[in-house]
Amino acid sequence: MLEAVQTYEGGCHCGAVRFRVALERKEAIECNCSICRKKGFIHVIVPEARFTLLQGAQMLSTYRFNTGIARHTFCRNCGIHSFYRPRSHPDAIDVNLRCFDEDLTSEFEIEPFDGVNWEESIDRLRGN
């Protein structure tokens, strides 16, 4: 369901990294792959134009694994993964719903994604 554009801010635990997103939908994805499960990441995928890094670019480190396509960024001070560039949507930013300033998890429709079986599941996520 299309909603009015709402703006949210968030960041890492120590406050060094801050971001702003503009969203039309309160939709998120919870993936069961090894890294998402261990990080507790709830995915809000936004077009790059609707994401603004407000501060902390110099505090970001990047972790890559497996195919090396996804760029998992995290604050090198507190270790929190506020957002990253996902393999599934390389032209978008994937923001962690749990890193928004307010706890909005109950306001979002959160769909499960079978990341353990990524290759078999990705077309559904991409809307194919």
Question: Would you list the domain boundaries of the chain?
Answer: 6-125
pLDDT value for 59: 97
pLDDT value for 79: 95
What one-letter code names the amino acid at 123?
Answer: D
Give the whole-angstrom CA distance, residue 4 versus residue 15.
28
pLDDT value for 48: 95
pLDDT value for 124: 75
Give the whole-angstrom CA distance, residue 81 versus residue 60.
9
Task: Tell me what percent of the chain is helix, strand and coil, each rounded to the nearest 5.
Answer: 25, 40, 40
CATH code of the domain made up of 6-125 = 2.170.150.70
Given a cut of 70, the residues of the chain with pLDDT beneath it are: 1-3, 126-128
pTM of the entire predicted model: 0.88
